[in-house]
Amino acid sequence: MRAMVVRRYGAPEVFEAREVPDPAVKPGETLIRVRAIGVNFADLLQRMGLYPGTPRAPFVPGMEVAGLIERPAEGSGFHAGDRVVAFTSFDAYAERVSTLASRVYAIPDAMPFEDAAAIPVNYLTAYHAMFQMGNLQPGDRILVHGAAGGVGIAAIQLARSRGLVLFGTAGPSKQETLRRMGVDHPIDYEKEDFVEVVRRIAPRGIEMVMDPIGGKSFSKSYRCLGPTGRLVIYGFSAAAGPDGKRSLWRGAKAYAQTRRYHPLELMRRNVSVIGIHLGRMEERAEMLRGELEDLFRMYATGQIKPVIGKTFPLAEAAAAHAYIHARKNIGKVVLTVA
């Protein structure tokens, strides 16, 4: 089968198209013929060798696919030809993947594979953070960083479905997009200090900030919280350079700038810091399944709809990564497999 292999850690140019053996299907795993692959910022960190648990190069990156079952796991209830989405720890940038049956989910018949591949990581991250871990209620206020990206747009759509008040950061070229999507308070991070904007509108602070940036951003996001506020950490893009190159220096600097949260201070302020990593949820597989099924129901009723910013053929994985590094994407970037 064809796969896009990271031959060494580095910039997008390290990708190489190769013929590799089909996946070895272990007991309890399901083999899937891939039709679409969701590209996430975590994939970029995998390529640079900055993502926790990344294998030594050469390896195949990627963590979510949509496609057709070729060989179902025994007792899984799936059949050959079923349309599904699935999580993989790595190995998604390929024509076939094998993954545990517990990480495979049926998709509605009318859902395009591109939409299906855009939902699991982005929408589950937002849903799990906002409503499972964060217990947000109508009228609560949320600040979403990177609001024009995949998780950002998912959070916006989910917030609108629950009657939340939205703050969102993005670059100057994406401000109109945020307004059009219904963000109450768009913030241009190049011209405005988001802490000042939030505190001007909500002097006592807000209920949640979703921050995938890290470094100094975590400290500033923390300052936006009011009593019962939640800071959700689900990424660390500050460790990655805009050129897409691996930089241990940049990563070390970003980690050094990250705030340490003292337990007594958290108690005094009545705030919490929540980490989200869907890849470490094996013991809560049924919880995630229920959340994803709810998201599919919301899709069917038109409450959510992935915004596909751009699609690339699998062979152009390097171009897809460069596109994200350049911050050109509004919404999800998807790779397609013929």
Q: Which of 261, 279, 297 is the last residue of a domain?
A: 279
Structural domain contains residue 330 = yes
Domain shared by 259 and 314, yes or no: no
Q: Is the pTM of this model over 0.85?
A: yes
First-to-final CA distance of the chain: 12
CB 104 within 8 A of CB 78: yes
Domain shared by 106 and 134, yes or no: no
Domain shared by 39 and 174, yes or no: no
Structural domain contains residue 290 = no
Give the domain range for residue 323. 2-118+306-336
Q: What is the reported pLDDT for 250?
A: 63
Domain shared by 96 and 159, yes or no: no
Assigned token pair, 335: 């790779």
- pLDDT 10s digits, 238-276: 776 666 666 655 666 666 677 788 899 999 999 999 999
The share of the chain scoring above pLDDT 70, in percent, equals: 95
Q: How many domains in the chain?
A: 2
Hey, how many other C-beta atoms are within 10 angstroms of the C-beta on 38?
27
Assigned token pair, 305: 């709809």
DSSP letter at 235?
A: -
Q: What is the reported pLDDT for 279?
A: 77
- Each residue's pLDDT tens digit in the chain (338 positions)? 999 999 999 999 999 999 999 999 999 999 999 999 999 999 999 999 988 889 999 999 999 999 999 999 999 999 999 999 999 989 999 999 999 999 999 999 999 999 999 999 999 999 999 999 999 999 999 999 999 999 999 999 999 999 999 999 999 999 999 999 999 999 999 999 999 999 999 999 999 999 999 889 999 999 999 999 999 999 887 776 666 666 655 666 666 677 788 899 999 999 999 999 887 777 788 899 999 999 999 999 999 999 999 999 999 999 999 999 998 899 999 999 98
